[in-house]
Amino acid sequence: MEFTLLPLAILFTSLGIVPLLFALPERSARLRTTINLTAAAIKVGLVAWLSWRVSQGTIYGVGFEVLPGLAFKLQADPLAILFIALSSILWLITTIYSVGYLEKGPHRARFFGFFSLCVAATVGIAMAGNLFTFLLFYELLTIATYPLVIHRGTAEALRAGRIYLIYTLAGGLVLLVGTLWLWVMAGGTDFAAGGMMADIAAASPVQATMLFVVLIAGLGVKAALVPFHAWLPIAMVAPAPVSALLHAVAVVKAGAFGIMRVVYEVFGINVAVDLGVTLPLAIAAGITIIYGSLRALTQDDIKKRLAYSTVSQVSYITLGVALANPIAAIGALAHLIHQGLMKITMFMAAGNLAEGLGVKTVSGMNGVGRRMPGTMLAFTLAALAMIGLPPLAGFVSKWYLASGGLDAGQGWVIALLLGSSLLNAAYFLPMLHRAWFVDAGDASAARPVGRRIGWMLSAPPLVTAALVLIAGGLANAPFSPLEWTRFIVAIEYRE
Amino acid sequence: MNLDATMPDTGVIFGLAGILVFGIGLFGALSLRDSLRRVLALKLCGVGASFILIVAAWRGPGLAADPVPHALVITGIVVMVSATAVALALIRRIHSLENGRDD
Amino acid sequence: MTEIVSLDWLALTVFVPLLGAVLSFLVPRIAPQIGLMTLALAGLCVTMLALQVIPGGPVIVALGGWGAPLGLDLRADGLAIIMLGMNVLVGGFVSLGALDTFSARHAGEESARMRRYFWPLWLLLLCGLNGAYLSTDIFNLYVMIEVIALAAIGLTVLTGRLDAMRAGLEYMFASMLGALLFLMAVGLAYLQAGRLDFAGLAVHAGEPAMMLAFALMLVGLALKTALFPLHFWLPNAHASASAPASALLSGLVLKASLYILLRFWVEIFGPGERIGMLVGAMGTGAIIWGSVQALRTQRLKLLVAWSTVAQIGLICVAFALAGTIGAQTAWQGAVLLMVAHAVAKAAMFLAAGRIAQETGHDRIADLDRSHLRPTLAQFAFALAAISLIGLPPSAGFAGKWLLMEGAMRAGAWIWVVVAMAGTLFSVAYLSRPLIGFLRFDRAPDPVGEHHGWAIADAPPLMLAVIAVISGLVAVQIIGVISIGAPFGAVP
């Protein structure tokens, strides 16, 4: 009996502390940090336990009816574990970073309240057992992230927040219509390996295709699929830990994860291939990959460059799913984790540069390597991993994606990935070059512009960078992202 | 109790008169601007509606009238009187506020 | 299924508030205590009634022994229980809010008068509302809507200010006209059918005189429920009243006429699809016009009032689906939306009142210029907005989901699009004050996070929280609504 409650307990570790965090007075910083870190640590523990049990073949589910025939349903399957593990580990690390980042800043009660709510939403998205539940948490994520994006409360932040809200709520509305349509058409919204659309797709392929388009459009907004990506670079006005979380775990990943669920477990990969919708999706992902990289090239603002890089990198996941090939699928799923680790490292490092040195632009990065060696080491590792240098994490994903593309007979994928990697190098290497090999030149190098960077800011990016190294170097160890991914793909392609 | 078949002439006349009075009142309520006149127009509507109920009570010459509509009309009158009183009180209050007097 | 009970919670549900109204008028010194006591007792009556209806089916009681044809029956089915529950729930929290608004702390003649008259008027209103939900004949309904209207107008002009008086007079005219159209329809219906009870009238549905009667009722009720384009009286009336009064007017009063229209539609007249389309089109007009005005207005309370116009429009979309295969689902959605709107809008008006009280104004443009941010009230406002927009897991979400599901099952995609448009509009206008709450760079001093918290924030906050989480029990609410099959048998 207690085991069925495990998913709820994991959800509760982040959701339950939200009212507490809101109610805490601004000055009780120590208590707030204690609550946050304890909850995050407990959650990591629970997730570790859950992963162990699930790897032994247990599947947890809990649910109750909310609307006639429609249930709120949580289910901890291997795919869910993949996402929860990412979010729980990165939540712990980002919480430490946020505590350091917001030290003495205003509105911390509100910040950490919504921060927790945001993580609770990602947990719900991960464990949603049907598209209806997924939708509930998908919207909750929007509500929880909006106050984080506009945290600074400036005119610029609010303008960005408005655009963010318009995009994500419109996307949510489209997803709502899609979910409703699926419910009316198929009489259910459950996620199940192999999907549930086989009969409908055979009977009325046009409607099924339209449904697919509607669902992907609704999810594509959060996944920043071109042309729904415009909110992402604008939303980088958020504080660094929020950007880190948004780009690595919460929002874009929710979209990509939803695309996985829809393709694998609503339609079923074979049905999707028969409908002929996977190739267009792969092409859309390909366009996004190239477009994001091209735009990243010309950005001088560090966070904007990173944001466009996210547009590009997240679509690797969609690409791998859409190639409808088990090897590519392994690459896609592994990239869900790998991209999260790499991007969170870079955003935290960028946050340190801005806070410690006042450096916010690429052109201002001259000589920062010497002034912030630890942070820049982490940044460098992550950037090289993004480019795809073996044996780092990014290389592993790209390798599987490329092999999968070849295996699926889609040779253009190789060219696409090569091109993308070249572009990655083209926009990351100059940053590294400036940081390590160009002298700051003027007196600015000597005088500190920002505040002191304590261990709470400098350690987290190093830890995540180490994880990038481990995820790539030990890719074949048990419980590595790659191994877990193989486990999932075996299930999804069992049909 | 069908309108055209069993209802004697008196009933039709009363009924049409009721509808007519209601219509006049309605027209007044929609077209007049002065508050007091609008109240009076609405009173006319009320009279028209009561007419219809009274017609409904009439069962023909020599027969006892149906008591139910009569009860309804009386209730309706009571309601209308209170509504009119409230409206008049409001108008008076607005008038005194507008003219800066408090009475 | 039906049973006649001798000692009846049913009649008490109506008469307890009436008694409370009289007592609180006679003994104004302890009016608040009487008010809260009455609400508690009314809550008890509704609970006991629900305990009868939920396991046993609809309950009927004949008042004073007058049976069906003459019609002094009161009847409670599941739908009525939900509406009564809404009355006492929302009414209870608004009463708690009113305790603070009209407390003796605020000196002055105006405050004393409001304190004196709020409770009798509000309890009279509750009597009328409860009576309307339990009536089974159209004349009884006429009396109830007049009671509701008179009490509501009294609440509107309670502040005694000129703008409220003027708005109240407009409301009075609209309300009287609506009631008279209704009375005329009652006369015509009796002339035709010789009966006043729903069941007796339903037999004659479709006959020309009945259609005329229905048309008159439709216009009269649309006027009272402020359905576009007959909404002209609403924004000023709701925006100029005191916060608890606005909460009651917007949350509860409008629902009574909407409920009566819904009952008539389903149980008596069953008008054709074309009239349904017409009402749906009026609802669409309401969504567009109400939203546009809410986007333009400069005052927080006016924005909330215009949003009511738009939300009523959304609910009325359900009428366009009457008679289709999705009708039952759509009706359930409409009822959920009514309840959701009552809870959320009451919370929002109370919160808006608190914000104005703390900051000293309700100009939307200046919300971000103050260093005083009553965060709890703002939080309540934001939560209420979530339900009004229809984001999960709120009751507003559940209602909109069912409404759109009904439209989709009927293949009427146009209404799906209308509901989507309504959602986007509501995001646009409700985000205006939210942006004011969250912008800080214009404030002259640092903004304190927990400044301006007061116990008076509890009622709006509780209501808002209920609005947001009640979608999770939507299936239970629907289960209750279906008792007595008000919308026909389950297919």
CB A9 within 8 A of CB A49: no
Task: Compute the nearest-CA separation of C225 from chain B (Å).
Answer: 18
| Pairing mode, strands A70-76 and C73-76 | unpaired
pLDDT in tens, A143-193: 999 999 998 888 889 899 999 999 999 999 999 999 999 999 998 899 988
Q: What pLDDT, on a 0 to 100 scale, did the predictor assign at position A441?
A: 67
Location of structure tokens 């419109």: A170
Q: What pLDDT, on a 0 to 100 scale, did the predictor assign at position C64?
A: 64
Q: What pLDDT, on a 0 to 100 scale, did the predictor assign at position C139?
A: 86
Tokens of C251: 């949350």
- 3-class secondary-structure state, position B103: coil
**DSSP letter (8 states) at residue A106:** S
- Residue B61 class from Cβ within 10 Å (0-12 exposed, 13-18 middle, 19+ buried)? exposed
* Rounded Cα–Cα distance for residues C115 and C33 (Å): 12
Q: What pLDDT, on a 0 to 100 scale, did the predictor assign at position C3?
A: 47
Nearest CA in chain B to C163: B94
Query: Based on the structure, what is the number of domains in chain B?
Result: 1
Q: What are C215's strand-pairing partners?
A: none
| B52 pLDDT tier (thresholds 50, 70, 90) | confident
* Residue contact C416–A173, C-beta within 8 A: no
Q: Is C489 on the interface with A (CB under 8 A)?
A: no
pLDDT in tens, C245-267: 999 999 999 999 999 999 999 88
Location of structure tokens 């002298």: A439
Q: Average pLDDT of A326-338? A: 92
Nearest to C143 among B1, B38, B79 (CB): B79
Mean pLDDT (chain A, rounded): 89
The percent of residues in chain C predicted with pLDDT above 90, rounded, is 64
Could you tell me the end-to-end alpha-carbon distance of chain A, in angstroms, rounded to an integer?
31
Nearest to A154 among C386, C441, C449 (CB): C441
- pLDDT at residue B103 tops 60: no
Interface test with B, best of C176, C197, C207 (most B CBs within 10 A): C176
Q: How far is CA C446 from CA B10, C436, C442, in A?
A: 80, 15, 10
Q: Average pLDDT of B39-44? A: 91
CB C377 within 8 A of CB A120: no
Nearest CA in chain C to B5: C192
A297 phi and psi, to 5 degrees? -50, -40
Mean pLDDT (chain C, rounded): 89
Question: In C, which residues are within 8 Å of B87 by CB distance?
Answer: 169, 172-173, 176
Spatial strand order of the sheet with C3-4 comes to C3-4, C59-62, C73-76
* Residue contact A66–C449, C-beta within 8 A: no
Interface test with A, best of C314, C329, C364, C391 (most A CBs within 10 A): C391
Q: What pLDDT, on a 0 to 100 scale, did the predictor assign at position B8?
A: 53
Buried b (16+ CB within 10 A) or exposed e, C70-91: bbbbbbbbbbbbbbbbbbbbbb
Cis peptide before C17 (omega within 30 of 0): no
Chains B and C touch (3+ CB pairs under 8 A): yes
Domain range list for chain C: 272-491
Is B83 within the bounds of a domain?
Answer: yes
DSSP per-residue letters across A221-264: HHTT-TTS-THHHHGGGS-HHHHHHHHHTSHHHHHHHHHHHIII
Question: In C, which residues are within 8 Å of A22 by CB distance?
Answer: 379
Nearest to A26 among C435, C449, C475 (CB): C449
CB C263 within 8 A of CB C202: no
Instruction: Choose between A450 and A241: higher pLDDT.
Output: A241
SS3 letters across C266-289: HHHHCCCHHHHHHHHHHHHHHHHH
Q: What pLDDT, on a 0 to 100 scale, did the predictor assign at position A489?
A: 85
- pLDDT at residue A327 tops 60: yes
Q: What are C73's strand-pairing partners?
A: C62
Tokens of C386: 């979530």
Element (H, E) at C60: strand C59-62
Q: Taking CB atoms and an 8 Å cut-off, how many pairs form between chains A and C?
A: 88
Compute the radius of gyration of chain C from its Cα atoms. Answer: 21
- Residue C424 class from Cβ within 10 Å (0-12 exposed, 13-18 middle, 19+ buried)? middle
Q: Average pLDDT of C37-64? A: 90
Tokens of C176: 């009287």
Nearest CA in chain C to B54: C187
Q: How far is CA C383 from CA A386, C324, C357, C361, C396, in A?
A: 40, 34, 19, 21, 11
- pLDDT at residue B5 tops 60: no
| B96 pLDDT tier (thresholds 50, 70, 90) | confident
Q: What pLDDT, on a 0 to 100 scale, did the predictor assign at position A442?
A: 63
pLDDT in tens, C8-38: 788 899 999 999 999 999 998 899 999 999 9
Of the listed ranges A205-214, A418-427, C71-80, the least confidently predicted one is C71-80
- 3-class secondary-structure state, position C172: helix
pLDDT in tens, C118-148: 999 999 999 999 999 999 888 889 999 999 9
- 3-class secondary-structure state, position A67: strand
CB A151 within 8 A of CB A157: yes
Task: Compute the nearest-CA separation of C185 from chain B (Å).
Answer: 8
Q: How far is CA C445 from CA A451, C192, C369, C380, C442, in A?
A: 23, 71, 9, 24, 9
Q: CB atoms < 10 A from the CB of C450, how many?
A: 15
Q: What pLDDT, on a 0 to 100 scale, did the predictor assign at position B61?
A: 73
Question: In A, which residues are within 8 Å of C420 by CB distance?
Answer: 173, 177
Of the listed ranges A133-137, A443-447, C146-150, C273-277, the least confidently predicted one is A443-447
Q: Average pLDDT of A208-227? A: 93
Q: How far is CA C444 from the centre of its chain?
A: 40
How many residues in total does chain B contain? 103
Q: What pLDDT, on a 0 to 100 scale, did the predictor assign at position C490?
A: 45
* Residue contact A67–C404, C-beta within 8 A: no
| A5 pLDDT tier (thresholds 50, 70, 90) | confident
For chain B, the residues whose C-beta falls within 8 A of a C-beta of chain C are: 1-3, 15, 18, 22, 25-26, 29, 35, 38, 42, 45-46, 48-53, 55-56, 66, 68-69, 72, 75-76, 79, 82-83, 86-87, 90-91, 93-94, 97-98
* Rounded Cα–Cα distance for residues C437 and A158 (Å): 11
Instruction: Choose between C428 and C73: higher pLDDT.
Output: C428
Q: CB atoms < 10 A from the CB of B95, how many?
A: 14
Tokens of C115: 């304190």
ipTM for the complex? 0.92
Within 416-455 of C, beta carbons closer than 8 Å to A belong to 416, 420, 423-424, 427, 431, 435, 438-441, 446-450
Chains A and C touch (3+ CB pairs under 8 A): yes
Q: What pLDDT, on a 0 to 100 scale, did the predictor assign at position A152?
A: 87
Which runs of consecutive H residues, i.e. helices, occur in C360-412?
375-389, 395-409
Nearest to C475 among A66, A147, A172 (CB): A66
**Partners of chain B (3+ Cβ pairs below 8 A):** C
pLDDT in tens, C273-320: 889 999 999 999 999 999 999 999 999 999 999 999 999 999 999 999
Of the listed ranges B57-66, B71-80, C72-81, C343-352, the least confidently predicted one is B57-66
Q: CB atoms < 10 A from the CB of A57, how many?
A: 7
Q: Which residues contact C427 (CB under 8 A, 6 or more apart)?
A: A165, A166, A169, C389
CB A327 within 8 A of CB A404: yes
- pLDDT at residue A44 tops 70: yes
Location of structure tokens 């990959």: A289
Question: In B, which residues are within 8 Å of C193 by CB distance?
Answer: 1
Buried b (16+ CB within 10 A) or exposed e, A328-340: bbbbbbbbbbbbb
Instruction: Choose between B56 and A333: higher pLDDT.
Output: A333
Spatial CA neighbour of C180 closest among A394, B71, A13, B50: B50
Nearest to B56 among C142, C153, C191 (CB): C191
- pLDDT at residue A2 tops 50: no
Question: In C, which residues are within 8 Å of A136 by CB distance?
Answer: 392-393
| C1 pLDDT tier (thresholds 50, 70, 90) | very low
Q: Is C109 on the interface with B (CB under 8 A)?
A: no
Nearest CA in chain A to C417: A177
**Partners of chain C (3+ Cβ pairs below 8 A):** A, B
Q: What pLDDT, on a 0 to 100 scale, did the predictor assign at position A198?
A: 87
Within 239-258 of C, beta carbons closer than 8 Å to A belong to none
Q: What pLDDT, on a 0 to 100 scale, did the predictor assign at position C448?
A: 65
- Residue A452 class from Cβ within 10 Å (0-12 exposed, 13-18 middle, 19+ buried)? exposed
Q: CB atoms < 10 A from the CB of B10, how many?
A: 12
Task: Compute the nearest-CA separation of C391 from chain A (Å).
Answer: 7
How many residues in total does chain A contain? 495
pLDDT in tens, C372-421: 778 889 999 999 999 999 998 899 999 999 999 999 999 999 999 999 99
The CATH number linked to B52 is 1.10.287.3510
Q: Average pLDDT of A19-27? A: 86
Q: Is C47 on the interface with A (CB under 8 A)?
A: no
- pLDDT at residue B6 tops 60: no
Q: Which domain holds residue B88?
A: 9-98
Amino acid type, C123 = L
Angle among Cα A265, A269, A271 to the nearest 5 degrees reads: 100
Q: CB atoms < 10 A from the CB of A451, how many?
A: 12
